[in-house]
Amino acid sequence: MSTRYSSSLSLFVLLNLTILLARTSFAFQSDELLADDEEFGLEGGRSPDLATVTRPASPTPSPRKRSLDSGSDQDSKVQFSLEHAFGDSDFSPAGTFSARLKTSSHGGQTLTKLRFSRNAFSETEKQNFKRLLEGDDFYRIRLPSNVLSPPGREYIISSVKARCLPRDALDEHFVIHMEGVNVLAVNYGSPGSCQYPRQLKLPSKWSFKSHTVLKNSDQAPRTPVFTEEVVGENGEGEEVKPLERSFWAKYWMYLIPLGLIVMNAMTQAMNMPEEQATGQPGSQTQAVAGRGQPTAVRRR
Amino acid sequence: MKMAIRVFLLLFMFFSSSYPTFSLYEDQVGLMDWHQKYIGKVKHAVFHTQKAARKRVVVSTEENVVASLDLRHGEIFWRHVLGPNDVIDQIDIVLGKYVITLSSGGSILRAWNLPDGQMVWESTLIGSKPSKPLLLVPTNLKVDKDNVVFVYGNGFIHAVASVDGEVLWKKELASEGIDIHQIIYPDGSDKIYAVGFLGFSEVAAYQLNVKSGELSKPSNLLFPAGFSGDLSFVTDETAVAMDSTGTILVAIHFQDGQIRLHQTPVSQIIQDFSGTAVILSSKIPGMFILKIDSSVAFIRVINEGKLEVVDKLGHTNSISDSLPLSDSQEAFALVQHGDGKILLTVKLSGDWTSNLVEETIQMDHQRGIVDKVFINSYVRMDRSNGFRFLIVMADHSLLLLQQGEIVWSREDGLASIVDVKASELPVEKDGVSVAKVEHNLYEWLKGHLLKLKGTLMIATPDDVAAIQKIRLQSSEKSKMTRDRNGFRKLLIVLTRAGKLFALHTGDGRIVWSLLLNSLRKSEACENPRGISLHQWQDPHHHALDENPSVLVVGRCGHSLDSAGVLSIVDTYTGEERSHMGPLHSIIRIIPLPFTDSLEQRLHLLLDGNQQAHLYPRTAEALRIFQQELGNIYWYSAETNKGILRGHGVQKNCVLEETDDFCFDSRDLWSIVFPSESETIAATATRSLNEVVHTQTKVTGDQEVMYKYISKNLLFLATVAPKAGGPIGSVTPDESSLVVYVIDTVTGRILHRMTHHGSQGPLQAVFSENWIVYHYFNLRAHRYEMSVIEIYDQARADNKDVLKLVLGTHNLTSPTTAYSRPEVVTKSQSYFFTHSVKTMAVTSTAKGITSKQVLLGTIGDQVLALDKRFLDPRRTANPTQAEKEEGIIPLTDSLPIIPQSYITHSLKVEGLRGIITVPAKLESTTLVFAYGVDLFFTRLAPSRTYDSLTEDFSYALLLITIIALLVAILVTWVWSEKKELQEKWR
């Protein structure tokens, strides 16, 4: 237990250090990580222990947020909280998302570098969750619909059957759909598949493995526009194409019968000498008979 | 050169055959399609019978149709459907040759030529603020040799020349805040009067010069008690109004610019009066009608505002406008209801006690009560006055009555169809074989010989006519039993009047009709209207002893939370089995995929309090429902707030009285669209009874793609709030369109895509794993159609044959929506020339036949577009493999092939919806398009590959076989002979 404590402590220090570092080398880092942030997000709880550790750290960023807001107008840090409910219970805080708010030159604001710190379950929450598992009920979460002025117009709710979450630990997967600073929807569930029928299975570790993804809207593909020229080229291309076909592709239907006939002729030719060699008398008698038949008719 | 032409022709033929064309030959029109023309519920009617060879009545309807009907037969001479936003306010006839229509709140005045319906002129009358539109056509007033029409609309009074529609003068009256109720032109004078209320408590009368529109000083009179309702004119000088309390009648006199009032408490003229009274609008000289509670009183105005009750009638009845007769008298008609019949009386306005005409007419109970009556007079053989009555019934049908008989009737309720469901016909029970329909062998042979002649093109015109007749008369298609191909069905349609019709798909005739008890006006249900139809019982196992039935859902008012009503109607007999209501409000009806032992489908009805009610209310249904309780999810959209919510069933409701069939719901997920940038524009879901034949798609290069097929997908599109207006009201930069594919069980957004610079109106259709939608691209200034196809990646690794053999694949394992789906979407956009009113997709029995998207074009036609054209995998230069698969080279716009209009030369005026019903024959689907008109046809998207065409010549086949047999015999005999000769040689 003590070792775990110390490791968690060191981790906490490390985290603080990184945050401090991030403050100092701000512009540099944001450039570097932007691309993959938007696409894949960040896996907040890469190690299960981190989630438990970040809990004491969570109050610290909030004053920092304000100071940063006033400090830099380009990027600033925002936080919004995740709340959860067991079945039909009321919502209670469950974790904090922190992200960097990036203001683009033409006024649009986007979130990048999303991090998530999950609060560990308390004993009562564990009991509540167990009850959900037994009753195959819903575990519900909610987020504010606007990250700057929570809760915005309304909370975004998402829910999952509690039995979908437990693996070894509790695996969860967030896909947060954003439009500027508005949260449109959050898709919450297990990162992989959920078995059906759902079996009752208690997690061996009461900690969360969280994966978060930020998603923005895709651009629709542009309608193709053809000019006359392109169409003409296409036409030519199509005309040329038939010529490219090989000789075999073109005339296989003639070649195969031809081949068969040749084969047939070959075998016959092979047989012929044999017959001539072995059964010459027979063939002669046949020929005689052939010649003999009409004579026979005549004879009648 | 010849060679070149030949090659060209060959190529042309090849290409023309490569696109499947759905066109039909001229002589095939009407064989499997039918078209019916309607006009809708009549609002106004003007008769034109004097000095006319063809007696006609010009009507305007609630479907915004102006039509001229033959008074003898009720057929349509001509008609024009004005747009849905162009509501007709008034119609009249001027100069004996033009029909004048005033529409769009008094801002558009049109004249139509009476004989042929050509538009003669159109004037747009621009005004400042909306007001009650009025039209006055003086009979003999000429201004500068022009006959003049006075129009009051949008606060302006206009004098319009009736010959060419030129505005002679106009004057603003609304600037002083007056609300004009009537324009009066006393015959022979040179002044017109405009009378109305100023505020709530002042009467004002304006005097205008007819020639110049010059306004003389208005005369006002204050009435401190205030008015309520309309002014009702009794004569040109006298009007009656109600005071604001509804207890005092005020008679108002206008004389030489002076206004005098005379008050009479209602209780003074009617004894036991309590509550409030309402003046009904009527146009009977010297008289007005007062509605008190459930009865109406006819009150005569004697000089100086003295009032006298003439009669009091208890029943609901209708009164026509007055009709001037030759000897300066005016007559009006009064309709009263008896038991299964109606009583028509015509009275002179001056004389209440005697009746000019008194007629009793038997009336079908299914037509309901009389809604409106219009009268017209003619001179009888004995030089006395005869009367015709045009009556509009509660089911919106139109009837002409004369001499106590129904001369003709029109079922114009069918112009306002709300919902359609298809129902099977009864199974053939008494062993009547289809062959018996063909009368005898001779007839049969004769028919086929004629057909043979037709195919060999040696038929004379008489023969062609005979063939056509045989085809049209083939009693096969209008039989009242099920056929093997499933072409014969009943279309159950619900109209806005609350009437249910069953139409036969063979010829479109009405098999039965029913004015639903639940949708009739009653004390408990003031404004009933039907919302939707649902298949209640569709027996397959009990097909012989149970009749199918439909559930009709209605509402008692216009708001969503008004009480709901339900009816269950047998589709074979057209009888109402049961009706319920008024009950809880009905927001949404969810047919569940479960049926009870009687094959009644379980339905979940959602009310305004987020509670779900289960029907049918039986213990068995409850048991089935409770087993599946955990697997029932639904979603709701709050369009004005831009929130989509998912719900699940929780437990029984907590109510004062326990209700086992009521369930509470709970919110499971929500999606909140940012209100500043997105509003919900359109949604589309898959049809519940769609059949998907294969889960996979094999591409040309032997790859397998798994379709993501889920019944729970929702396609939703949002547009920028600014772009809600018409096309061109926003710049491309301000407008964008976002499309979503959402799983409605978990609220997962599977796909989200933005079309920048695009806006609605948006139409979408969802089928199998693809969505096709239509919108406007502001940057390209063109309409576009896009397609999204969704493929499942989770099963993509099932291609391994070894896995399939060993059974380690996951194809048969049950899927749950809670698994994270791995989907890929493919999308592409194409330009499209037309704007689209409505969209549908063909559906076939097994889903094997390729699909067509049916587009209701702005020209009220239906265009069938192959799904192949809307394939996201089209590329500019398809590879050989792709070509073999049937992928068409990419083009930027979708082709419109004239032959693919399934309505061929016809128009479905006012097209509102298209439904498709699968026939039993896999290749064929039945299409029903409805609007003001109805159109039905059969469609074979991949041609009828599974049956011979109807005009297949069996005789030719028979003759060929016989000829071949004979040839075989003859050659056999010959060969025998020859052999014998050979042998004898």
Sorting pLDDT into bands at 50, 70 and 90, what band is B502?
very high
Cβ within 8 Å, pair A154-B670: yes
Which among B983, B980, B909, B925 is positioned nearest to B412, based on CA atoms? B909
Give the range with max mean pLDDT: B53-57, B78-82, B256-260.
B78-82
| Residue from the list A145, A173, A223 with its beta carbon closest to the beta carbon of B780 | A223
What residues form DSSP beta bridges with B123? B109
Can you tell me the distance from the alpha carbon of B502 to that of B550, in angstroms, rounded to the nearest whole number?
11
The pLDDT assigned to A272 comes to: 73
Nearest to A194 by CA among B746, B324, B957: B746
What CA–CA distance (Å, rounded) separates B641 from B270? 52
- The DSSP call for residue B437 is G
Output the CA torsion B95→B99→B100→B101 (10° steps). Answer: 170
Verify whether the Cβ–Cβ distance B892 to A225 is below 8 Å: yes
- The pLDDT value recorded for residue B201 is 79
CB–CB of B794 and A237 under 8 A? no
Helix (H, G, I), strand (E, B) or coil at B722: helix
Minimum mean pLDDT range among A260-264, A291-295, B326-330, B744-748: A291-295
Contact flag A197-B814 (C-beta cutoff 8 Å): yes
Q: How far apart are CA B369 and CA B685, in angstroms?
A: 39
Looking at the complex, report in whole angstroms how far the Cα of residue A106 sits from the nearest Cα belonging to chain B. Answer: 13
pLDDT at A231 over 70: no
DSSP structural state of residue B509: -
| Alpha carbon distance B832, B777 (integer Å) | 10
The share of chain A scoring above pLDDT 70, in percent, equals 59
Stretch B828-853: mean pLDDT: 91
Confidence of residue A299 (pLDDT cuts 50, 70, 90): very low
Reported in sequence order, the residue ranges of B538-610 that DSSP labels E, i.e. its strands, are: 549-555, 563-570, 576-585, 588-595, 601-606
pLDDT of A239 over the 70 cut: no
Cα(B187)–Cα(A30) distance, integer angstroms: 87
Q: What is the pLDDT of residue A19?
A: 47
- Kindly state the tokens that stand for B79: 């008609």
Q: Which residues of A touch B752 (CB under 8 A)?
A: 177, 215, 217-218
**Preceding peptide of B616 cis, ω within 30°:** yes
Is A63 within 8 Å of chain B by CB?
no
Rounded CA separation B228/A82 (Å): 57
Does residue B89 fall inside a structural domain?
no
Is the CB of residue A178 less than 8 Å from the CB of residue A185?
A: no
Asked if residue B306 lies in contact with residue B234, where contact means CB atoms within 8 angstroms, the answer is: no
Q: Which residues contact B96 (CB under 8 A, 6 or more apart)?
A: B48, B50, B51, B114
User: Does residue B978 lie in a domain region?
Assistant: yes
Looking at residue B7, what is its pLDDT? 52
Q: What is the C-alpha separation between A61 and A77, in angstroms, rounded?
A: 9
- Average pLDDT value for residue range B542-552: 85
What are B495's two structure tokens? 């109209």
CA separation for the pair B91, B79 (Å, rounded): 13
User: Which residues of chain A does B641 touch, with a Cβ-Cβ cutoff of 8 Å?
Assistant: 153
The string of pLDDT tens digits covering residues B680-708 is 999 999 988 888 888 888 887 778 888 99
Contact list, A220 vs chain B (CB under 8 Å): 739, 753-756, 786, 827, 829
- Per-residue confidence band for B950, with pLDDT thresholds at 50, 70 and 90: low
Highest mean pLDDT among A183-192, B646-655, B805-814, B834-843: B834-843
- On the question of pLDDT at A46 being above 60, the answer is no
Does residue A5 sit in helix, strand or coil? helix
Nearest Cα to Cα of residue B505 among B485, B532, B477: B477
Q: Do B89 and B105 meet the contact criterion of CB atoms below 8 Å apart?
A: yes
Residue B537 neighbours by CB distance under 10 Å: 22
Say what the alpha-carbon torsion angle B969, B970, B974, B977 is, to the nearest 10 degrees.
60
Contact B746 A160 (CB under 8 A): yes
A 161-180: CB under 8 A from B: 161, 164, 173, 175, 177, 179-180
| CA dist list (Å): B671 to B647, B736, B810 | 12, 19, 31
Can you give the pLDDT at residue B969?
A: 96
CA distances for A49 relative to A99, A161, B366, angstroms: 21, 25, 76
Given a cut of 60, whether residue A52 has pLDDT beyond it is: no
Domain that holds residue B962: 956-984
pLDDT digits (tens, 9 = 90+) for B13-40: 444 444 444 556 666 777 788 999 999 9
- Eight-class DSSP state of A245: S
pLDDT tier for residue A161 given thresholds of 50, 70 and 90: confident
Rounded CA separation B106/B174 (Å): 14
Mean pLDDT, residues B748-758: 91
- Give the least confident one: B174-183, B486-495, B548-557: B174-183
**Does residue B974 sit within a domain?**
yes
- Cα(A80)–Cα(A126) distance, rounded to whole angstroms? 24
Task: Calculate what percentage of chain B has a pLDDT beyond 90.
Answer: 26
The mean of the pLDDT values for chain A is: 68
Residue B179: count other Cβ atoms within 10 Å of its Cβ.
Answer: 16
Output the DSSP codes for B766-802.
EETTEEEEEEEETTTTEEEEEEEEEEESTTGGGG-HH
Task: Give the C-alpha distances (Å, rounded to integers) separating B508 from B475, B483, B491, B512.
Answer: 13, 16, 9, 12
Confidence of residue A277 (pLDDT cuts 50, 70, 90): low
Q: Tokens 């594919």 — which residue?
A: B741
pLDDT at residue number A65: 38
**In Å, how far is B880's CA from the nearest CA of chain A?**
10
- With a cut of 80, say whether residue A41 has pLDDT above it: no
In total, how many domains does chain B have?
1
Whole-number percent of chain B with pLDDT over 70: 92
CA proximity to A141, closest of A71, A194, A94, A78 = A94
Distances (CA, A) of A193 to A165, A166, A173, B636: 10, 12, 11, 27
| Beta strands, E only, B140-214 | 142-143, 146-153, 156-161, 167-172, 178-184, 191-198, 202-209
Q: C-alpha B757: how far from its chain's center? A: 32
Q: Are B66 and B112 in contact (CB under 8 A)?
A: yes
pLDDT at position B568 is 92
* Per-residue pLDDT reduced to its tens digit, A97-124: 888 888 877 777 888 888 888 888 888 8
Residue B112 and residue B165 in contact, taking contact as beta carbons nearer than 8 Å: no
Burial class (CB in 10 A: 0-12, 13-18, 19+), B486: buried
Q: Which residue has the higher pLDDT, B820 or B767?
A: B767
- Highest mean pLDDT pick, A214-228, B136-150, B297-311, B854-868: B854-868
Confidence bin at A286 (pLDDT 50/70/90)? very low
Helix ranges (H only) for chain A are: 2-24, 26-40, 48-57, 61-71, 123-135, 228-244, 247-278, 280-299
Q: Which residue of B has its CA nearest to A192?
A: B820
* Alpha-carbon gap, residue A42 to B115, rounded angstroms: 77
| Phi and psi torsions of B194, nearest 5° | -115, 120
Measure CB to CB from residue A220 to each of B648, B829, B892 and give the nearest one: B829
Please tell me the pTM assigned to this model.
0.81
Which range has highest mean pLDDT (B83-97, B323-337, B765-779)? Answer: B765-779
The answer as to whether B980 is a domain residue is yes
Which pLDDT value is given to residue A278? 52
Helix axes A280-299, A247-278, angle to 10 degrees: 80
Domain boundaries, chain A: 76-216
User: Going by DSSP bridges, is the β-strand pair B489-495/B156-161 parallel, antiparallel, or unpaired?
Assistant: unpaired
B80-to-B40, B42, B385, B910 alpha-carbon distances in Å: 12, 14, 33, 10
Residue B475: the pLDDT is 59
pLDDT digits (tens, 9 = 90+) for B600-618: 999 999 988 888 999 888 9
